[in-house]
Copies of this chain bind each other. A is one copy, B any other.
Amino acid sequence: MQERSVFFVSDQTGITIEAVGRSLISQFDQVHFIGNRAPYIDTDEKVQTICQQIQQAYDESQTAPLVFSSIIDAQHRQMIAESPCVFMDIFADYLVRLEQEFGCPGIGKTGRLHGMFDSTKYMSRIEAVDFVLGHDDGLNTHNYNAADLILLGVSRSGKTPTCLYLAMQFGLRAANYPFTEDDERYLSLNEDLKKCRDKCFGLVIDPQRLHEIRSERRPNSTYASMAQCRQEINRLLVLYEHEKIPYLNSTNFSIEEIATQILARKGMAQRFE
């Protein structure tokens, strides 16, 4: 299998350019990629160091490394472009088109946007994370009127990470409520949930997968047994259907996908200014 070095170069965090680059290279199964993160490349010296690393990777492999870059400074971009690499310069390519479209130059400064946490929404996202932690796993159900969304599901079906992601990415106040093994609550929603039925969204997970996940934590327990997992999920499905709560099977989805599918299904957060 051929090997190829890949550099993700940014004058900021590099999170976005890495996501772009990784989704592109994931299209090529037959290449083994060696990733190099290069965030905060914002001085001549740092750019020179990266150029040396690119040159070194080229010398060692006799193939040109891929370089995905979101550097804004034109001179720094030029320095990298002169290195022996396949240069994918996202700012150059798209910024020029936008400048033509708007008939004016871009600001040309870094740090205009803080990626996942843009500065204007910073505090609301921190507060949303606090809200998630204060309303995790059935805590403070009396306060559900302040929630944007309430996620329901059994233990280990992905509720907490999904809520944290919704808070960090979208600033949403997401609570979560667990249904436990032999909980009478299965038969109906409690009063706090009933009042906020429109905010509820359910998760289910294939019993086999739930069994595997739980077995890693508590091997050979009743909690992790196939019979228990199957029973919990079956009862939960009955509840969702009976209470007309929309739900999603999370088995084959990442947290990011679960979160965005919930928003799409609820029609939330699709338009913004």
List 10 A-B pairs, minimum CB-CB distance, nearest first.
A27-B106, A114-B254, A117-B254, A26-B112, A26-B113, A16-B19, A13-B260, A35-B272, A37-B270, A115-B256
* Interface 0/1 of A84-125, CB less than 8 Å to B: 001010110111011001101011100011111111001001
In the complex, residue of chain B having the shortest beta-carbon distance to the beta carbon of A34 = B273
**A–B complex contacts, Cβ < 8 Å, 21 sampled:** A12-B257, A13-B260, A20-B94, A22-B118, A23-B115, A25-B98, A27-B72, A28-B98, A28-B106, A29-B107, A36-B270, A37-B269, A37-B272, A66-B101, A88-B94, A88-B97, A114-B257, A116-B165, A129-B161, A168-B168, A168-B255
Contact partner of A15 (CB less than 8 A), chosen from B91, B106, B160, B169, is: B169
A93 to chain B, nearest CB (A): 7
Residues of B within 8 A of A125 (CB): 161, 255
Q: Does A218 make an interface contact (CB < 8 A)? A: no
Tell me the A residues contacting B by CB distance below 8 Å. 12-16, 19-20, 22-40, 64, 66, 70, 72, 86, 88, 90-91, 93-95, 97-98, 101-102, 104, 106-108, 112-119, 122, 125-126, 129, 133, 136, 158, 160-161, 164-165, 168-169, 253-257, 259-261, 263-264, 269-273
In the complex, residue of chain B having the shortest beta-carbon distance to the beta carbon of A212 = B123
Contact A23 B254 (CB under 8 A): no
Q: Number of copies of this chain in the oligomer?
A: 2
In the complex, residue of chain B having the shortest beta-carbon distance to the beta carbon of A98 = B24
- With A260-B15, A271-B34 known as contacts, the answer to whether A94 contacts B24 (CB < 8 A) is yes
- With A15-B169, A23-B16 known as contacts, the answer to whether A117 contacts B255 (CB < 8 A) is yes
